[in-house]
Amino acid sequence: MPFGLTQALGLYAAWRFLPEAVVAKTADWGSFSWVDLVVLAIFIAVFFVFAVKFKRAGSVFYKVFLSLIIFSGSQAVLGALFMPLVATALAIALVVIFWFHQSILMQNLAMILTIAGIGAAIGISLLPITVVYVLVAFSFYDIISVYKTGHMIKMAQAMIESRAIFGFVIPEPGKSVRHKISGVAPGQGFMILGSGDVVFPLLLSASLIRSSLSQAVIVAIFSVLGLLLMHLIFSNQQARRPMAALPPIALMSIVGYLITFLI
């Protein structure tokens, strides 16, 4: 449910951003140099080392960073609904409520607004083929970081311990969305769906808004099918363990994108 709501809200926000976006130049794959990619890789590596080696400082960093992205993302999507001043006030209120009322319901609501805003604002500025390359690259990165190095799992554990979760918390049957975040632990009645697994397919659907709303909707629907495929694979594991969620979601999103060429 949160995944689908994020895709729908993100597409609506991207559609509202369209009048401003049509006068801006889209960024294609050639807009990014190898230096950009190296800088990004170094940033991720330093971020990981910092978070793992200095857990207390890492916890503060997670909370500050999460607060900033909640504010910026929610302000973007709320700006598509309200006047700028009202959107800013609501975004600030959301951040405050988020930290003072840390329930699963509040966590997921904040992430819906945050990811929808970020995905719409960035996605509409990109070419679809650029996002396809990004989906493929980060799918391989997801596989390596989960199954090979394991650093993505360690980072997720550090975020959960700091109560600064960058993603959705999905309660399993018998658990309530009113449950406090402090009691959340993966494999103990809860599943975590990372923000990257949600925002990357939204980038692709939002990037299609410039050319066709129907094509964007098709890709969004296929991304939801990708989520269902991921859940099917996860549920049928002989032993429940963390899995790379992005590859099946990215695969179905790209399939949806290819299907748009047939319409």
- Predicted confidence at residue 29, as pLDDT, reads 46
- The pLDDT of 114-119, averaged and rounded, is 94
CA atoms within 13 A on the CB side of 200: 30
pLDDT score of 139 more than 50: yes
In this structure, the strands spanning 167-171 and 190-194 are antiparallel
Structure tokens at 170: 């999905």
Whether 50 and 60 have beta carbons less than 8 Å apart is answered as no
> What SS3 state is found at 21?
helix
Residue of 99, 157, 131, 90 whose CA lies nearest to 223: 131
Q: Is the pLDDT of residue 174 over 70?
A: no
pLDDT, residue 50, reads 65
Average pLDDT over residues 229-238: 83
Domain ranges of the chain: 2-262
| pLDDT tens readout for residues 197-220 | 999 999 999 999 988 899 999 999
pTM of the complete model: 0.85
Answer whether residue 111 shows pLDDT above 50.
Answer: yes
